[in-house]
Structure 1
């Protein structure tokens, strides 16, 4: 009876249908690009379960090409059989036949691998060639390299970037990698020939392009991928200015960051956010890309020193610049001119004092510049920076002169006549900022005197 059962699958061979009880589940068409890898998932069934016998169950994959009679063995779990030379080390069976797994791994696919593949099973109680066949097509390599960033890029934080060729695998055709981009000009060239790149981005790297190039040999094919870097960094104040206009004081400040910074103003101890206005002030802000500009217009009359502070912030930090406005009459240009003529003598004396003061300041700053590290060469030689926040007063509650009079008789009127002056620096080069959590600068604006 058993020989008759073994003969039935052979008699069924004239049909494209599987013999009852036999089934092979595989994709009918598998396409892979030359030089890459692919896994063909496969599961087979037959009437006699392997647990009924202790004999080894052998499975085979044969390449038939275009001729089903020119079969060549490409993969098997039977060690005593020799596979096709061209597929040695590249075609492998995956899984265990006892679990009905006939999956096939193909590495470094070649054009010569194109063709029809047939699956067979052989054991003591089963010998069968399945009619369902695998059609494998190997095409030209058109896959592009892929760049994977493990975590978001943040200025000053090292991050690993990985370049790969999708579809490649260990044991496949050798690949060589190279990295290119403006963000890499400070890196050791020897580190740019690996699939993994460690990059510590800078603010100026935001928006630049990074390219990974992958080369494959035999035959040589080059593919690459270019991405635009998205680098987060804290705000940098690019500049600020204040000027007197007919309507009052007009101030502007500019900041750069990514994501784009938010700007708000402190008018003394009052916080003004967004676009807002009332009878004494008006604020307008706008952003383009990483740049934000905010303008403040004041129509109030100053009766005491007023501190204006422009603060920029985003999720990565903040930075501010403080401007001190000195009290004086909100006079027209003609009135200011008349006042200047009437106090010509006083102004001449004050000008002399200012000149002497600046002479010694510049001399001292030049001496400091000669002693400072090379990285500070671009700092402004006249205007200094002070780490004051917008909520911190940039001057003590009382001056040394006031303290000296605290225990004596009140000074005479002549001793109380103190001149206040401040300077407006226009068109100055913005100072380079560092990646700090919070820094600020204080600028003194408007040449103006009062008693």
Structure 2
């Protein structure tokens, strides 16, 4: 017995120095708990003490075990007469052929306690009995954290078939394949039958309702309860939907969604922020449009919201704001009517006189001269939102509008004197009120007392002209007849003729006849005779009076017979009046002249 031990030690020592023994294996091997790992291994030994028919046995031992006796069992071996460790039975397998110098090992369903240093031993014949203790490998077992990879298009088209692949990326050489299965609401049946393979392929047809649902790939390994899975969220393409506009009235407060709001009121100068958001796949392009003008536009790869800020709302910002979301599958939009409220501004009065179409602007306190009887139109104009309530007053009394539908218009068809004064337009508004006044000054037309008098004067002139025309026609018709009936010869003009010879005087029949009879008798003793050539006082008085009041001569017919030579020197007329000619003084009268007539009057 001692001889055998001594021989073994001698042989072992000789093998330790024999360079024919070598092994190639990874120094460190990592495996996930519950998974399988293949450890490639190759070795060499000398061709001594065995023949081709001599069997070769290989053993994998955990460090710290005794290899020479049967006290400690290997974790894996091809020797059917050698029992293996109970904890590794069925999990550790020597897949290599020691006779062909292969020592490859497969570890299945790795457990955390499997982590250790492992070395290989070879036995063949009487010489080859060698332990590769210094050239083993370190097994590391880690927790199962790896998940399968699922390959699926980013966006699925509704109604179009799609293929999904699930792969568990691990080295499965000589390891059993895991079991794959699928679950998800998009599948025609709840889940699929498990298939054993190193990857799994799934085909299905998504619908719009499948958007945002889960699809899960399950990977089950040999040990019960050990599995891995990965869940993906389906992105089925669809047109924009659920468009919402949110509103903030200051720069700090949170936005409040307004789902059913269609009209928005804001005061002038107020801060306003509008935010548009829509749900779509792929992401829609968002835009803000005022009337037909694009205010802002988003990018498809940017945020799925689009804001619009109005730092100080102006009156011109009023209008319809439309948020529009559009992608290749369709579009959706929502409108919001913004009304900017502000008190009356630029209050003024516009006036139109005498049916003129051109309006003149008048400022506050303007004095407006108007002719009596002239038509006048006053229009009160202001800018406000909502429209201000307009009214007219005169002297504190409300003046009814000419057009109830337009209270800012005041019509004065014929301006009268009692309408003179101050007219005030009032603009009343919930945010503030204003007023503007115009002073109305009524006066007559130049040169006329009044309109009524002017019309009467024109009427009188027309009637007078008509009467004068008729009278002229009558005179022209009667005068030729009288000239043919008169037998008195025309006096001949001579150098000694007086001015009376050149005047066609037709006296009245009655007074001239009486005057002739009176002149034929001597005058009374109380009357003082006039000096020759001097006019009588009554004649001077008549001349002065007739000079001041001109009159028109009236032709009179005469039926007197021709008188004798002596009676031609008698006085026939009492007054002679020359309109526009001043009487001469006596000093201017030539001496030796006599007055043939005392007075000649044209009536």
Structure scoring higher RCO (CA < 8 A, sep ≥ 6) equals 1
TM-score by length of 1: 0.46
**Higher Rg of the two aligned structures:** 2
